[in-house]
Chains A and B, each alone.
Chain A
């Protein structure tokens, strides 16, 4: 487009006394963009560039000293068991949280959209409340639920004669327990979005289907889900990113433990960059690999979903 405009401009007569209107408009456009560009530049682009530079250095935790190490941070990461463990945890998190979270959300939205319409506002509020709760508060709540000795879950299990597991301190259960907390807090948002999607679907499709004798399940399978696919696509993209960036619950519930069983990449970046002994270069390299991972996953999603999304 820009080339075409430039090409056409060549043929225009140039008046020296009056500046061309177009250019002036451009100038104004940049003026309006200026505040945004300054903010994005200072808080997004500059940190990205700086963080890449840091990832090529070993940065002293006491400040002021850096050793250029080239790609050493990256090669160390790619050959370390800890890093691959963190990648694996991130992936399990995504695989565990996204499908379950969305399936639950759609199921609840379907239930909400049919009966007891008069109480719908109360339902919606109840469902949405967890979203407004900060992850720190949610984390503390779940800590109480999960406590193996005085927690609610194990007390109730014991009531039914079941010996509850060590939710947060056994390798088998910790990741599951943290995933549940994240899914719970994210659920309200997902339900509201799914509900909005359901309400977009025209009643006439259902009426036509009913006339043709389609049952409830058929209507969901052949009308609701296909027409909901743009919403589902949106939910998948958002939930994948949220699950890959899960942090608050991990920090409060397990701090990445036991061992490194719940330490995902984001948590590892945080610990290396800002806690205890600061390894800023190492953390920056991890942040870059995490970004690459998210880009790759998003790319696969857009590729895979493009043909399966139906727009009305």
Chain B
């Protein structure tokens, strides 16, 4: 008797351990989803399980939108699930873009990949190279791609057409403290301003007693965007868009001018050196220590609501030796992972098409501040959108900055500068560039020397990546 009880104890303990183990591995590889097999028959977790999926095709959708943004995603998914009964979308929040991509890589190996995943702009080439995608153009109808804004359409396209669907798109913009501008007797900045004009504003602001003219984090994004606005290329082979990028070009021409401008703002005391940050800059701007801030259009609502002073917006500047070109559409896109089953792929695409349709896009834009991706919403916006923009004029500047972006040059060829760079190791190279600020600000290198040094490391990264495709 004692023995039996004893063995029962051992078995229970082992069962507990085994189940704990199982939970652990599931989380590591498959993340907290019910997986391919479970979701079709059982109710999905969370509040998306409003109804039983029944015979519907279940689509696993991984996203990286936290908090309020995630709530808007969940709402849209619920609307889709309620609107029809053939496809049931199970949305799962996976953490940051990096977490989501790590989970995706693990899921490829475990054979539990989702049908749709969200991944950010710089990962585009890596996503292409997974070889697991169903390009959107293979599922689109004739002319469907024209529904998208040109900048949005082109960013995620390869030579055959649109591969992924832009989902949450944002661009950089200049926010400014209207009170400080008025106190300095300054007009709102012109839509098209070069570095010299920008610095004139700085002189005037600082003369009026403002501590810092502007504040920005030394993240790679502003360099990329101001370079694009100045018509400069980041990578060779037309920014890596006509062939794989083999070398960076940011250490030539416009790149040097742009980097001189950005490091100069800090070195000359026009901007505080806050390092690689997205948040400390906000504190400085809100504390009225700086008159302007470079930030994302997605933050427009936050700036408007949290500042104790009126906030207005302006386009980002460009170099003196260039014309204004515009901005690169950033953010993230939805990628369709090939399930091997055409019917399932089509079901997933049906959901993506829903997300890109008019009503969800209006909700998405007004709820989050990310751009609507449809061209018609910009050309003939519905009344709802017009009144939203009247209440939130900063979104209008953001839309205009994108709408006036020159995606084509005068001779009709593509303006690769504003289509954005594309390369496998782009995230790594962005990091190298972030580190390069310090070479100028701390080690006293010239911007040219610092960029040359960064270029050597970046080119090595490109060569290593391209080696996967040799032979």
Q: Using a CB–CB distance below 8 Å, which chain A residues touch chain B?
A: 31-32, 34-35, 38-39, 42-43, 58, 60-65, 67, 143, 147-150, 166, 168-171, 254-255, 257-261, 271, 274-279
* List of A residues within 8 angstroms of B18 by Cβ: 35
Pairwise interchain contact B439-A279, C-beta atoms closer than 8 A: no
* B223 CB → nearest A CB, Å: 15
Q: Is B41 in contact with chain A by the CB < 8 A criterion?
A: no
Indicate the member of A32, A166, A254 with the most B CB atoms within 10 Å: A166
Pairwise interchain contact A149-B287, C-beta atoms closer than 8 A: yes
* List of A residues within 8 angstroms of B283 by Cβ: 147, 149-150
7 A-B contact pairs sorted by A residue (CB < 8 Å): A38-B17, A39-B17, A61-B465, A147-B284, A149-B211, A170-B442, A259-B438
Pairwise interchain contact B468-A276, C-beta atoms closer than 8 A: no
Pairwise interchain contact B284-A58, C-beta atoms closer than 8 A: no
Task: Using A38-B17, A148-B273, A149-B272 as known contacts, list a sample of 5 further A-B pairs with CB atoms less than 8 Å apart, ordered by residue number in A.
Answer: A35-B14, A149-B212, A276-B98, A276-B122, A277-B429
Contact of A275 among B13, B427, B464, B468 (CB under 8 A): B427
* List of B residues within 8 angstroms of A275 by Cβ: 98, 427
Pairwise interchain contact A279-B428, C-beta atoms closer than 8 A: yes
Q: Is B179 in contact with chain A by the CB < 8 A criterion?
A: no
* B363 CB → nearest A CB, Å: 31
Pairwise interchain contact A171-B427, C-beta atoms closer than 8 A: no
Q: How distant is the Cα of A260 from the Cα of B275 in the complex, in angstroms?
A: 12
Q: How distant is the Cα of A169 from the Cα of B435 in the complex, in angstroms?
A: 11
Q: Is B461 in contact with chain A by the CB < 8 A criterion?
A: yes
* B467 CB → nearest A CB, Å: 7
Interface of B is mostly: helix
Q: Is B102 in contact with chain A by the CB < 8 A criterion?
A: yes
Pairwise interchain contact B428-A63, C-beta atoms closer than 8 A: no
Pairwise interchain contact B21-A171, C-beta atoms closer than 8 A: no
Q: How distant is the Cα of A260 from the Cα of B439 in the complex, in angstroms?
A: 10
Q: What sequence of 0s and 1s flags, for each residue 256-283 of chain B, a beta carbon within 8 Å of any chain A beta carbon?
A: 0000000000000000111110011001
Indicate the member of B108, B109, B126 with the most A CB atoms within 10 Å: B126
Q: Is B437 in contact with chain A by the CB < 8 A criterion?
A: yes
Query: In chain B between 380 and 436, which residues have their CB closer than 8 angstroms to a CB of chain A?
Result: 424-431, 434-436
Contact of A60 among B109, B274, B276, B468 (CB under 8 A): B468
Q: How distant is the Cα of A276 from the Cα of B464 in the complex, in angstroms?
A: 15
A276 and B438 contact, Cβ closer than 8 Å, known pairs A63-B108, A169-B275 = no
Pairwise interchain contact B109-A258, C-beta atoms closer than 8 A: no
* List of B residues within 8 angstroms of A255 by Cβ: 275-276
Contact of B425 among A32, A61, A261 (CB under 8 A): A61
* List of A residues within 8 angstroms of B10 by Cβ: 31-32
Q: How distant is the Cα of A171 from the Cα of B127 in the complex, in angstroms?
A: 36
Indicate the member of A35, A42, A143 with the most B CB atoms within 10 Å: A35
Q: Is B375 in contact with chain A by the CB < 8 A criterion?
A: no
Closest to A58 in B: B464
Q: Is B192 in contact with chain A by the CB < 8 A criterion?
A: no
Pairwise interchain contact A277-B427, C-beta atoms closer than 8 A: yes
Pairwise interchain contact A257-B425, C-beta atoms closer than 8 A: no
Pairwise interchain contact B467-A277, C-beta atoms closer than 8 A: no
Pairwise interchain contact B284-A149, C-beta atoms closer than 8 A: yes
* List of B residues within 8 angstroms of A276 by Cβ: 98, 122, 427-428, 430-431
Pairwise interchain contact A257-B284, C-beta atoms closer than 8 A: no
A150 and B284 contact, Cβ closer than 8 Å, known pairs A35-B17, A171-B438 = yes
Closest to B99 in A: A274
Closest to A276 in B: B427
Q: Is B178 in contact with chain A by the CB < 8 A criterion?
A: no
* List of A residues within 8 angstroms of B109 by Cβ: 63
* List of B residues within 8 angstroms of A61 by Cβ: 126, 424-425, 465
Indicate the member of B212, B287, B461, B464 with the most A CB atoms within 10 Å: B464
* List of A residues within 8 angstroms of B84 by Cβ: none
Q: How distant is the Cα of A143 from the Cα of B13 in the complex, in angstroms?
A: 45
* B330 CB → nearest A CB, Å: 15
Pairwise interchain contact A67-B441, C-beta atoms closer than 8 A: no
* List of B residues within 8 angstroms of A277 by Cβ: 126, 424-429, 461, 465
* A168 CB → nearest B CB, Å: 6
Pairwise interchain contact B287-A150, C-beta atoms closer than 8 A: yes
* List of A residues within 8 angstroms of B289 by Cβ: 149-150
Q: How distant is the Cα of A149 from the Cα of B439 in the complex, in angstroms?
A: 22
Q: Is B129 in contact with chain A by the CB < 8 A criterion?
A: yes
* B468 CB → nearest A CB, Å: 5
Closest to A172 in B: B442
Top 7 A-B residue pairs of the complex, sorted by shortest distance between their CB atoms:
A276-B427, A259-B438, A277-B428, A258-B438, A62-B129, A169-B275, A277-B425
Q: Is B130 in contact with chain A by the CB < 8 A criterion?
A: yes
* A116 CB → nearest B CB, Å: 39
Pairwise interchain contact B434-A67, C-beta atoms closer than 8 A: no
Query: In chain B between 23 and 73, which residues have their CB closer than 8 angstroms to a CB of chain A?
Result: 24-25
* List of A residues within 8 angstroms of B108 by Cβ: 63-64
Contact of B442 among A42, A171, A279 (CB under 8 A): A171
Q: How distant is the Cα of A182 from the Cα of B347 in the complex, in angstroms?
A: 51
Closest to A272 in B: B428
A259 and B435 contact, Cβ closer than 8 Å, known pairs A150-B284, A277-B425 = yes
Pairwise interchain contact B438-A38, C-beta atoms closer than 8 A: no
Contact of A35 among B13, B212, B290 (CB under 8 A): B13
Q: How distant is the Cα of A112 from the Cα of B464 in the complex, in angstroms?
A: 57
Q: How distant is the Cα of A60 from the Cα of B441 in the complex, in angstroms?
A: 34
Pairwise interchain contact B438-A148, C-beta atoms closer than 8 A: no
Pairwise interchain contact B21-A42, C-beta atoms closer than 8 A: yes
Closest to B280 in A: A147
Pairwise interchain contact A60-B21, C-beta atoms closer than 8 A: no
Q: How distant is the Cα of A261 from the Cα of B131 in the complex, in angstroms?
A: 38
Contact of A62 among B126, B275, B427, B439 (CB under 8 A): B126
